[in-house]
Amino acid sequence: MASSSSYTNPPCAACKFLRRKCLPGCIFAPYFPPEEPQKFANVHKIFGASNVSKLLNEIQPHQREDAVNSLAYEAEARMKDPVYGCVGAISVLQRQVIRLQKELDATNADLMRYASNQQSNNNFNYGTSHDDHHQTNYGFSPNTTWNNNPEADDDIQ
């Protein structure tokens, strides 16, 4: 029967998958806990353990968690869609941005027509019956809705 002094932590998911001893300082251990075996299996299948290890060693320790999570996201997407991977999600999002931008342009154009027509009506009414109720402010604030140029905000390469 093993004594408590011979107890060692279970190997990380990467070392268990690769059937090697998980030594202190293992580059994978902090990001591939034993309870998430699939995360490493996916990353290994798509990128290869050696490439992932190299990549993690080339970046700062504080960046490694984000890097592993983005690799795991890409790997899972590639497992689900071997042809397009997460580039499929990029295409969907790009189409969505284009569609929303068109809708926003069309809605802004409608709003412009309403606003200019209301102005004409106000002028007409002031010239004839001076109906003060046309001066109500409806909360329309062009500065918050007119900046609809996607290129002016986020630059996607």
Write out the residues near a second copy by the rule CB under 8 A: 45-48, 50-51, 55, 58-59, 63, 66-67, 70-71, 73-74, 78, 82-90, 92-97, 99-101, 103-104, 106-108, 110-111, 113-115, 117-118, 121, 124-125, 129, 131, 133-134, 136, 138-141, 144-145, 147-148, 150, 153-154, 156-157
Contact 79, 45 (CB under 8 A): yes
CA distances from 46 to 50, 53, 79, 121, 136 (A): 11, 13, 8, 64, 61
CB of 113 vs a second copy, minimal distance in Å: 4
Q: Which is nearer to a second copy, 20 or 95 (CB)?
A: 95
Contact 51, 69 (CB under 8 A): no
Q: Which is nearer to a second copy, 26 or 111 (CB)?
A: 111
- Alpha carbons 44 and 68: distance in angstroms, whole number: 11
